[in-house]
Amino acid sequence: MTGSLLEATLRISSPLIFAAMGGLLCERSGVIQIGLEGLMIVGGFTAAVVALQTQSPAFALMAAALAGAAFGWIYALLAVRYKANQIVAGTGMNFLAMGLVPFFSKVLYENTGTTPSLALEYRLSWVSAVVLAIGVVTALAWLIKKTPVGLWIRFAGEHPHALEAAGVRVHRVRMWAVMGGSAIAALGGAVLSIGLASAYSRNMVAGRGFMALTALIFGKWRAWPALGACFLFGFAEALQFRLGSVAIPAQWIQILPYVLTLVVLAGFVGKARAPSALGQ
């Protein structure tokens, strides 16, 4: 009973973890990433298509990451290079993903956004998804804390002028951080479509990108606490399936992560401090 609740929590959390970590990499470099939803859509669809073609989940993950990086490149071009308002550009990227996926799906499969079902042996097991997710968190925490690249990323997010004065191009750091982060976020969609489900289906992401963004903020823009937030939100959702809507109305559990984050954001429980150059 409790074992399966734990399993459900891990399953539900794993896509969130990837998306939250992708968002973390972007935002720590000082670029707001509101397009996680769109990146998960792109990653989920690409992975499902490539898994069908190559029958290899590994290839599917790589393709999803590449598609995410390409999408992130467009966003970075707008937001970093051409200094577009990042909220505006991110909103646009979400629209683009929501519109393009049904478009390609129509061309490829003659329907509006559902890929054919994938045989069980070509799917990603949830255990490997979770292991991969934890691996990404570990790698990212190490990258940001312990490496020179991580130092650049943190400075791009906190004191871009100091970084520029030290001779490092802030724009270049941010471009790469956004592309890398977008690739990771797209993996979240891939895990959703070829790991937790057997295909990509329309409206599959259903706000999970925003929930990952919420987890990132709830974790105060740090890797391990953000991981904890993903588990917490995953647990809330797993609990909701378990309880049904008898004991507590499902809606109350659904809104719980957002209410909690709003409280944290308002500084009632310690101060949630965003990277100081975020959005500039």
Partner 1 sequence: MKIMRPLLAFAAGLSLGLIFTAWAGESPWHVLGVLFKGAFGSRYDFGMTLFYMTPLLFAGLAVSVAFRGGLFNIGAEGQLAIGALAMAWAGFSVPGLPRPFSWIFAALVGASVGGLWGGIAGWLKARRGSHEVISTIMLNFIAAGVVSYGVLNLFKNPESQNPETVSVAPSYLIAGIPGLGDAPVSWALLVGLGLALILGWALERTRWGFELQAVGKNENAARLAGIPVERVQILAMVISGAIASGVGLAEVLGSAHRYKLGFSPDYGFVGIAVALLARGNPWGVIASSFLFGALHKGTADLDLETEHVTRDLALVIQALIIGAVAADGLWDSMGQRMAQFARHWRRRPEQP
Interface residues with partner 1 (CB under 8 A) are 32, 34, 78, 81-85, 87-89, 91-96, 98-100, 102-103, 106-107, 112-113, 207, 210-211, 213-214, 217, 249, 251-252, 254-255, 258-259, 261-262, 265-267, 274
Kindly tell me which of 13 and 261 has the beta carbon lying closer to partner 1.
Answer: 261
CB of 71 to partner 1, least distance (A): 11
Q: Which residue is listed with tokens 């959005």?
A: 279
Q: How many helices (H) and strands (E) does the chain have?
A: 11, 0
CB of 123 to partner 1, least distance (A): 27
Kindly tell me which of 57 and 189 has the beta carbon lying closer to partner 1.
Answer: 189
Q: Is 119 exposed, middle or buried (0-12, 13-18, 19+ CB in 10 A)?
A: exposed
With a CB cutoff of 8 Å and minimum separation 6, the contacts of 157 are 27, 28, 29, 30, 275, 276, 277, 278
115 token code pair? 């890929």
For the chain, list the strands marked E by DSSP: none
Kindly tell me which of 135 and 279 has the beta carbon lying closer to partner 1.
Answer: 279
CB of 215 to partner 1, least distance (A): 12
Kindly tell me which of 92 and 180 has the beta carbon lying closer to partner 1.
Answer: 92
CB of 111 to partner 1, least distance (A): 9
How distant is the alpha carbon of residue 33 from its chain centre? 9
Kindly tell me which of 101 and 227 has the beta carbon lying closer to partner 1.
Answer: 101
